[in-house]
Amino acid sequence: MWTVSSDTCATGRLSAPDNVAYDGYCREFVFRQPRDAAELGAVMSADSEEVFACYRFDGLDRWTSRSVAAWREDVEVVLGYARHALAATAEDPELQRCLGGYVSYIESEEFGQYIDALRAHLEALGRSGSVTLGHAEPLASDDGDSGAPNVDFKP
């Protein structure tokens, strides 16, 4: 799950505080994939409250093992942005909580294990592909479907 540019209403964390964070402008994004059915329901509820319909549920279609590795190599850029946003929003306790949670998660062993498992899963599917984010190259199947296989990813 992921988001494109959202509104600035800061509604996502009302439903999914363990999965959704805001940037310094209160635009929401999924920072932790749902770990169970309750979190999945919470993120889907956050999606239903978002007026710009910014939530997307096709994330595995957009990653290859090489793009995951490249993202991980550049994670300090993401952390630098989040730390800068934390400093710039010191007076806003909600942004401090959500951005602080985002930084903590990105730096956690749980996240490292998730990324390693995602990369291995994509490798097992033969999705080494390009480093560029976007739609991964099509996968062939017996029925001519060029989409990603219907596989649940669970680290």
pLDDT (average), residues 112-131? 89
Give pTM, 2 decimals: 0.74
Q: What is the pLDDT of residues 33-92, one digit of tens each?
A: 999 999 999 999 999 888 778 888 887 888 899 999 998 899 999 999 999 999 998 899
Per-domain residue ranges of the chain: 1-57, 63-155
Quote the pLDDT of residue 57: 87
pLDDT in tens, 95-120: 899 899 999 999 999 999 999 999 99
Cα dihedral 66, 112, 88, 43 in deg (nearest 10): 90
State the pLDDT confidence band at 121, using cuts at 50, 70 and 90.
very high
- What's the fold here for domain 1-57? Alpha-Beta Plaits (3.30.70)
